[in-house]
Amino acid sequence: MKQLSTKVTSNGHGQDSSYFLGWEEYEKNPYDEITNPTGMIQMGLAENQLCFDLIESWLAKNPDAASLKRNGQSIFRELALFQDYHGMPEFKKAMAEFMEEIRGNRVTFDPKKIVLAAGSTSANETLMFCLAEPGDAFLLPTPYYPGFDRDLKWRTGAEIVPIHCSSSNGFQITETALNQAYQQAQKLDLKVKGVLVTNPSNPLGTALTRRELNLLVDFITSKNIHLISDEIYSGTMFGFEQFISVMDVLKDKKLENTEVSKRVHVVYSLSKDLGLPGFRVGAIYSNDEMIVSAATKMSSFGLVSSQTQYLLSALLSDKKFTSQYLEENQKRLKSRQRRLVSGLESAGITTLRSNAGLFCWVDMRHLLDTNTFEAELDLWKKIVYNVKLNISPGSSCHCTEPGWFRVCFANLSEEALDLALKRLKTFVESTDCGRMISRSSHERLKSLRKKTVSNWVFRVSWTDRVPDER
Amino acid sequence: MLSSKVIGESHGQDSSYFLGWQEYEKNPFHETFNPSGIVQMGLAENQLCFDLIETWLEEHPQVLGLKKNEESVFRKLALFQDYYGLPAFKDAMAKFMGKIRGNKVNFDTNKMVLTAGSTSANETLMFCLANPGDAFLIPAPYYPGFDRDLKWRTGVEIVPIHCVSSNGYKITEDALEDAYERAHKLNLNVKGVLITNPSNPLGTSTTREELDLLLTFTSTKKIHMVSDEIYSGTVFDSPDFTSVLEVAKDKNMDLDEKIHVVYSLSKDLGLPGFRVGLIYSNNEKVVSAATKMSSFGLISSQTQHLLANLLSDERFTTNYLEENKKRLKERRDRLVSGLKESGIGCLKSNAGLFCWVDLRHLLKSNTFEAEHSLWTKIVCEVGLNISPGSSCHCDEPGWFRVCFANMSDQTMEVAMDRVKGFVEDNNRGTQKRTMWNTRRRSLINKWVSKLSAVTCESER
């Protein structure tokens, strides 16, 4: 229908992907411990539901924040009228300090360089509008968050060219892969404007290493392009290592206040660390004045509700709360991840060793009929429809190897998680593949990320087979 | 290194509309602390009925406290990011919009898309209805923000439909055809017409005849009709508000897939900070795509919850709408009479938060340069931030939009006094320094002339 734009008539919204279809299936038959115990368990939603009690108890002790009062006096009018796209100063200050706290106060964030947005979805799109023309490309390491296909490309006309990462080295970004992606873009006649990474990674659940970050900064320096670091999971780091932000690396390389630092931008949000996706709070952080200025104007299209800015500026300004929250959040995420990983192991399923995020990158290659994406999709359908677990297939994340799945662990109760693991174990044991697995017969590749040797996977070597001709 | 959207100036914010605001920000009037500051009359805000909402909030403390029947709804809201929106909120909005239209139109929540403000709604509609390089026809004068909202990131063009004071700025068939032809001469593919009803900056509601004409025009040309009805709850005088959807119903076009309405709570309820807007469309494909696009500007669930409760209180909404109209009319009448005393006339208005004021007789010449210099004088010397017609793409110099609902009664009196003083000085043909002018001079000396367009000099 020529009446509507091509954005409507094409599939650029990316929502025909299995990632979203799994959600739809879940919506039809959602699990509930009491009312629908045989329903589908949602493990495809990267939500953090583990620490709500901490926020709720803070709200109970600090009723003014939600009641739009300051020192007992109503500030409703002030908030009702506040639509300044520069954002509430107290809120930006609180966000800056929170971001600093997450990074061990090793780096500073200037509130004036923060642009608020209605969620990181809005922040990422806005950055694309600022950095790329239609037809320009950004390089993204695979596997990546399926939503990027919509967020970065749909209305902006920008293109994504994947930086292929593989399980052979724990999906780490290599110089070869970066260069290959860059050349691929050029072959496609696309002008590369930058690289976008999610750190910690969705869907991998791993934080980028210092080596990878150095590599990225060197790469964008030599190619004179931008680097966007989506750090929305920065507060979910639960491993032994501390989170290294791209800002840490700029500091360590003494690149602060240089031309390169103007091409490095961070995206943040409270949807994952604080578990508040409904409140729509995101931010862009940039050292480039022109970008801050343009993005600020563009934020008119997605401002954060003043009611919400007020509540969260009070919450985040309470340093006792934030430090307790971050510590407890880490603890609970770690314990939940362990529960998932050990449960999977007892079903003969291993995961990429993770140290962050709300999900694990699970290796189910041994359960595939063939080493193909068709087989992955078949397996996924079985898991969704028969086992009744909604998990996300690697292909929806643009993974180049079939058989990997993202499984979330922080959006459900322990009981639901245990039930999910039980169902999965039953399923695996009932398949031929499950019976064939011999844990000791093959050596699993060591992840370069590890400081300690752990979690070796021993599995039948499907990689020796020739991919099925289909 | 940066996109043309950043380097170019299509964000439209170098317009005098925004520059006047900036001057105000540097020296804002305050009754007690800065009585010689600039009075803000360029901001279309509705501050007249906050007490009604505050009272309601005091009577319903659970709602802000994120509780329902003593149970916390915090978790549910914290997680709620469904782009279909909170059902209770959409229901409440549908009822509220129906009530504003005297229940002559029913709103189906399945045809509603929630967005963070009408700014987001309008841009999203453009992304859905037009490709880069396509055009929408808009009656001029129009809201200056449209240059950014409709064009900047979408690449869509605006072609004005020229309206003139000689017939009270009514939209005519000739004007529509003329705009359509001009678009074609510029090689632009016209995708639709967008009107604001009631009009910003005119303060008048679109008549039934004009709406009929518009729908005939758009259906003949097979193009879209977008009606931005964000001021629909501010109609305080006759004629009653007529929505495009009402006229569509009369023409048996109520299921027409090319008619779309935009709404917001920023003007009627005075809540621009809460970012509440919506698109209403019969077109399934548009609703579907716009819903997905709303991911880029969802309404905070905390806010949806608050307003779902507020707007489903029928007693509150009935009383509010009535009281709102009353107070707006009173305030408008005060402005009009105050201006009249100074020999200044306005376009007869029946809606909105502003008047369209005729200052043509104060121009040194019938030119936009003269309008600009008059505006500069009014901002810098008289100390009133009002919006010049040129910033609204008006064809005739000398008209200004003056807001009346964003200040107290006392401030309005101060503004009227200043206008009187200015006009008297002007009539005397001298730049007599009144007391407040002298005080202003010292302030002017402190002003940094960052504005390319406005230069406030001390000696005039």
The one-letter amino acid at A334: K
pLDDT of residue B20: 81
Number of other CB atoms surrounding residue B10 within 10 Å: 14
pLDDT tens per residue across span B207-234: 999 999 999 999 999 999 999 999 999 9
pLDDT of residue A93: 98
pLDDT of residue B21: 81
Omega of the bond leading into B272 within 30 degrees of 0 (cis): no
pLDDT tens per residue across span A389-441: 999 999 999 999 999 999 999 999 999 999 999 999 999 999 865 455 544 33
3-state secondary structure of B192: strand
Q: For A269-347, where are the alpha helices, taking DSSP H only?
A: 289-298, 306-317, 319-345
| Cβ–Cβ < 8 Å for B40, B385 | yes
Fold of A53-322: Aspartate Aminotransferase; domain 2 (3.40.640)
List B residues 273-312 in contact with A (Cβ-Cβ < 8 A).
273-275, 283, 285-286, 289, 292-293, 295-303, 306
Q: Which residues of A195-221 are buried (b: 16+ CB within 10 A; e: fewer)?
A: bbbbbbbbbbbbbbbeebbebbbebbb
Q: For B285, which residue in chain A has the nearest alpha carbon?
A: A8
Q: Which residues of chain A have pLDDT under 50?
A: 1, 434, 438-470
pLDDT of residue B10: 65
pLDDT of residue A17: 66
Q: For B115, which residue in chain A has the nearest alpha carbon?
A: A302
For residue B184, is pLDDT > 90?
A: yes
Question: Is A307 close to B75, i.e. CB distance below 8 A?
Answer: no
Domain ranges of chain A: 7-50+331-428, 53-322
Annotated catalytic, B143?
Answer: yes
Q: Does A272 touch chain B (CB under 8 A)?
A: no
Give all strands (DSSP E) within B123-180, no chain letters: 134-140, 157-162
pLDDT of residue A16: 61
State the Cα–Cα distance between residues B231 and B350, nearest whole angstrom: 11
| Cβ–Cβ < 8 Å for B53, B306 | no
pLDDT of residue A465: 29
Fold of B51-317: Aspartate Aminotransferase; domain 2 (3.40.640)
Chain A residues in contact with B51 (beta carbon < 8 A):
none
Helix (H) or strand (E) holding B20: helix B16-26
Q: For B266-313, where are the alpha helices, taking DSSP H only?
A: 284-293, 301-311
pLDDT tens per residue across span B120-156: 999 999 999 999 999 999 999 999 999 999 999 999 9
pLDDT of residue A218: 98
CATH of A7-50+331-428, one of 3.40.50.300, 3.90.1150.10, 3.50.50.60, 1.10.260.40: 3.90.1150.10
Backbone torsions φ then ψ of A198, nearest 5 degrees: -110, 120
Helix (H) or strand (E) holding A42: strand A41-42
| Cβ–Cβ < 8 Å for B278, B86 | no
3-state secondary structure of A166: coil
Residue tagged 């990011």 (tokens): B81
Q: For A297, which residue in chain B has the nearest alpha carbon?
A: B11
Question: Is B66 close to A59, i.e. CB distance below 8 A?
Answer: yes
Q: Are strands A392-393 and A389-390 parallel, antiparallel or unpaired?
A: unpaired
| Cβ–Cβ < 8 Å for B413, B39 | no
Give all strands (DSSP E) within A343-450, no chain letters: 350-351, 359-363, 389-390, 392-393, 404-408
pLDDT of residue A432: 61
ipTM of the complex: 0.92
Q: Does B3 touch chain A (CB under 8 A)?
A: yes
CB under 8 Å to B375, separation ≥6 — which residues? B16, B20, B386, B388, B400
pLDDT of residue A18: 67
What single DSSP character describes residue B30? B
Closest of B244, B254, B255 to residue B213, by C-alpha: B244
The domains spanning B4-48+327-423 and B51-317 adopt the same CATH topology: no
Residue tagged 């809540």 (tokens): B271
List B residues 83-122 in contact with A (Cβ-Cβ < 8 A).
116-117, 119-120
For residue B15, is pLDDT > 70?
A: no
In CATH, the number for domain B4-48+327-423 is 3.90.1150.10
**Residues of chain B above pLDDT 90, percent:** 85
Question: Is A80 close to B1, i.e. CB distance below 8 A?
Answer: no
pLDDT of residue B40: 96
State the Cα–Cα distance between residues B285 and B328, nearest whole angstrom: 38
| Cβ–Cβ < 8 Å for A13, B292 | yes
Residue B310, judged by CB atoms within 10 A of its CB (0-12, 13-18, 19+), counts as buried
Q: How far is CA A260 from the centre of its chain?
A: 25
Among B89, B124, B224, B302, most A C-beta atoms within 10 A, so best to mutate, is B302
Q: Does A47 touch chain B (CB under 8 A)?
A: yes
State the Cα–Cα distance between residues B389 and B201, nearest whole angstrom: 9
> In angstroms, what separates the C-alpha of B103 from chain A's closest C-alpha?
27
Q: Which one from A102, A173, A220, A232 is the annotated catalytic residue?
A: A232
pLDDT of residue B262: 98
**Per the structure block, which two tokens stand in for A377?**
């999709």
Q: Which one from B134, B147, B149, B228 is the annotated catalytic residue?
A: B228
- Through-space distance between the first and last CA atoms of chain A, rounded to whole angstroms: 35
Q: Which residues of A362-390 are buried (b: 16+ CB within 10 A; e: fewer)?
A: bbbbbbbebbbbebbeebbeebbeebbbb
Q: Does A278 touch chain B (CB under 8 A)?
A: yes
Any long-range contacts for B207-210 (C-beta under 8 Å, 24+ apart)?
Answer: B207/B170, B207/B239, B207/B242, B208/B239, B208/B242, B208/B247, B210/B170, B210/B171
Domain ranges of chain B: 4-48+327-423, 51-317
Q: How far is CA A100 from CA A106, A108, B299, in A?
A: 7, 6, 27
State the Cα–Cα distance between residues A268 and A283, nearest whole angstrom: 5
| Cβ–Cβ < 8 Å for A228, A263 | no
| Cβ–Cβ < 8 Å for B179, B159 | yes
CB under 8 Å to B111, separation ≥6 — which residues? B280, B281, B282, B287
Q: How far is CA A149 from the centre of its chain?
A: 14
Helix (H) or strand (E) holding A21: helix A18-28
Mean pLDDT, range B262-272, rounded to an integer: 98
Q: Which residue has the higher pLDDT, B429 or A380?
A: A380
Omega of the bond leading into A277 within 30 degrees of 0 (cis): no
Q: Are strands A392-393 and B67-68 parallel, antiparallel or unpaired?
A: unpaired
Question: Is B297 close to A118, i.e. CB distance below 8 A?
Answer: yes
Q: Does B129 touch chain A (CB under 8 A)?
A: yes
The domains spanning A7-50+331-428 and A53-322 adopt the same CATH topology: no
Smallest Cβ–Cβ distance between A67 and the set B65, B132, B275 belongs to B65
Chain A residues in contact with B5 (beta carbon < 8 A):
129-130, 294
State the Cα–Cα distance between residues B199 and B241, nearest whole angstrom: 11
Q: Does A306 touch chain B (CB under 8 A)?
A: yes
User: Across-strand partners of A161?
Assistant: A139
Mean pLDDT, range B238-259, rounded to an integer: 96
3-state secondary structure of B159: strand
List A residues 338-377 in contact with B (Cβ-Cβ < 8 A).
none
